[in-house]
Amino acid sequence: MCNYPLPPAFIENMRPLLGAEMDAFLASYEQPALRGIRFRDERRPLPEEELTGIIPYARNAYNLCPGSAAGASPLHEAGAYYIQEPSAMTAAAVLAPEDGDRVLDLCAAPGGKSTQLAMSAQLALLVSNEPVFSRAQILSRNIERMGIHNAVVTCAYPPALSEKWPQFFDKILVDAPCSGEGMFRRHPETRAEWTIAAPQSCAARQLSILRDAARMLRTGGRMAYSTCTFNHWENEGTIAAFLKEHHNFRLVPFALPGLPAAPEGMLRIWPHKMPGEGHFVALLEKTALGDNEPTNPACIAALPGPNRAAADAFSAFCQETGCVPPPVCNAVFSGKLLSAPAVLPDLSKIRTLRIGLQLGEMRGKVFLPDHAMALSAGFERQFSIAAEQAASYLHGDTLPCGDRLRGYYAVTWNDWQLGLSLIHI
């Protein structure tokens, strides 16, 4: 008998799915929830004892020991890594974007899957969308923190996007809002939010989201659908309902290293069978245009470029600081100078929080760099600080720097840039 206080109706719903495995499933809730970590690059700036094994289906990913304080380290704020539950890394791995792809993460907050997608290939464009503005702000901060330079962060509901962006994307991830049954161990508070009506209510919303996603996918493109829940209605049931309406889609078999193969194009992750929390992922391919879809795909849009004075001021800043390599200043959005992706959809009337890499802004004739630039671009001019100073710097405190420095410097700790600071003498 499980001592973990799960909703009784949830347990009864699970019995037909699990059968003889029910006791093993319930026993898994007596174990601690697992955490994973994805490093930004090949560097692993954590003690080896904090990493308890490779996560084989995600790039630079490891299981994180329960006592790790990696989330409180200044390296976290520097974008050295992203802490993410291991099974949540499967959906982006299944979608497997390729170099040059246009990718949409339709329900993207807080950003774990978006940052994983961005680091999986040299994407032409990543659009990370979150309909809830407060969550979209968190998403935007995580895109910035991880130094991602080719992403657009939007805040819109799927129907508004599908109306403007038909057939625009090569790959789409739909990590759908769900009843959250797979998170009962990691986030116990979700037990109180679950009701017996939640699964079927969520399934109706998930089907609606998939309909909009289907319109935005090009013919031949692929779409991954994922949830962090167990029940049939939100998983296989939602996929079956979608395929019944969309004969121009098919399920695609897949296999991830270290996990069971999915010959029918759908995979369940169970906490009593695999490391991680509950998860479901399906891979779909669009084989033809659907009924009532526009025959012409959405057009590529353009942003205005900077004026000569702004471009010259940015160039002078790069020369002064030794920005390596200097990002291209090719666009302006909401008063910010940008290094924008070469491919953009029409963003008019779409609430947009971030486009590409925000470089900075002009104040009169002076260029003021953006924090995002410090987390994405390299700088030859650096000012290294000690471990005990890093937290103070991130808190906004003034640090001593001697009397021989002047101008902008990248402040570094442990070879990671924490920000840009203007040193006055």
pLDDT tens digits, one per residue of 284-318: 999 999 988 998 999 999 999 999 999 999 999 99
Residue 15: alpha-carbon gap to chain centroid = 33
Average pLDDT value for residue range 333-362: 96
Predicted pLDDT at 397: 85
Predicted pLDDT at 402: 65
Say whether 107 is catalytic: no
Measure the CA–CA gap between 33 and 184, rounded to whole angstroms. 10
Q: Sort 128 into a burial class: Cβ within 10 Å, 0-12 / 13-18 / 19+.
A: buried
Predicted pLDDT at 1: 43
The tens digit of pLDDT for each residue in 182-232 reads: 999 989 888 988 999 999 999 999 999 999 999 999 999 999 999 999 999
Predicted pLDDT at 399: 78
pLDDT at 243 over 70: yes
Average pLDDT value for residue range 163-179: 97
Average pLDDT value for residue range 118-143: 98
Predicted pLDDT at 396: 87
pLDDT at 54 over 80: yes
The tens digit of pLDDT for each residue in 250-297 reads: 999 999 999 999 999 999 999 999 888 999 999 999 999 998 899 899
Structurally, at CATH architecture level, domain 8-286 sits in 3-Layer(aba) Sandwich (3.40)
List every span in the chain annotated with CATH 3.40.50.150.
Answer: 8-286
pLDDT at 3 over 60: no
Predicted pLDDT at 424: 64
CA 304, 308, 309, 313 dihedral sign is positive
pLDDT band at 423 (very low <50, low <70, confident <90, very high): confident
pTM confidence score:
0.95
Q: What is the mean pLDDT of the chain?
A: 94
Catalytic, out of 155, 178, 202, 228: 228
